[in-house]
Structure 1
Amino acid sequence: MKITVTIEDALYEKALEFADPAMDDSDVISKAIKTFIRMKASKRLIALGGSLPQMQEIAHRSGN
């Protein structure tokens, strides 16, 4: 999809400070949108945390 977006200069410059130098404008915006989606999905899952208290605990794999 192709869209036009207006972003504050200072905000975009700050994003570029954290971006990989090889990223182009569309990569920076796509990464920001993906991060926003993950953050909102995580908050939604956290909010549901207490709604299934009888649910069996899920085993987590060790990072070792």
Structure 2
Amino acid sequence: MTQADGFAIRCARSFQRHGVVDAAKERLSKGPSMLDQALYHRALQLSDAPLSPEEMVTLALKTYIAIQSAHRLADLGGSLPDIEDVPRRRWDPEEPSE
């Protein structure tokens, strides 16, 4: 797993923990779902397991949020070159989050 993969997973878990994904799913469920069926079926062909439209939207939102967060973090790169190293927590991606 690359650093970017780990970062994306941590971002997705953080947003899930703070209810961002649930709020987006709730908002989407209130109105008619307007998924591009061709795009949805293409994504199903590429996925390892069959996903419902709700699962697909959730996964897409998590991925989008993680990518945008990574871009914002990259934009901050080097703005504090003399900062002291921050201790990192080690985590196992297979272990459920608390």
Check whether TM > 0.5: yes
Q: Quick one: percent identity of the two aligned structures?
A: 32
Cα root mean square deviation, aligned: 2.0
Structure 1 residue ranges without an equivalent (≥5): none
How many residue pairs are counted as aligned between the two chains? 60
Task: Give the one of 31, 55, 70 matched to 1:42.
Answer: 70
Alpha-carbon shift at residue 58 of structure 1 (Å): 4.9
Kindly name which structure, 1 or 2, has the bigger radius of gyration based on alpha carbons.
1
TM-score, normalised relative to structure 2: 0.51
Runs of 5+ unmatched residues, structure 2:
1-25, 91-98
Q: Does 1:55 align with 2:80?
A: no
Question: Mapping of 1:9-28 within 5 angstroms?
Answer: 9-19=37-47, 20-21=49-50, 23-28=51-56
Higher helix share: 2
1:19-54 CA distance string (max 9 Å, x none): 222x21100110011000000000110110121111
Give the alignment's TM-score, normalised by structure 1: 0.71
Higher relative contact order (CA 8 A, sep 6+): 2
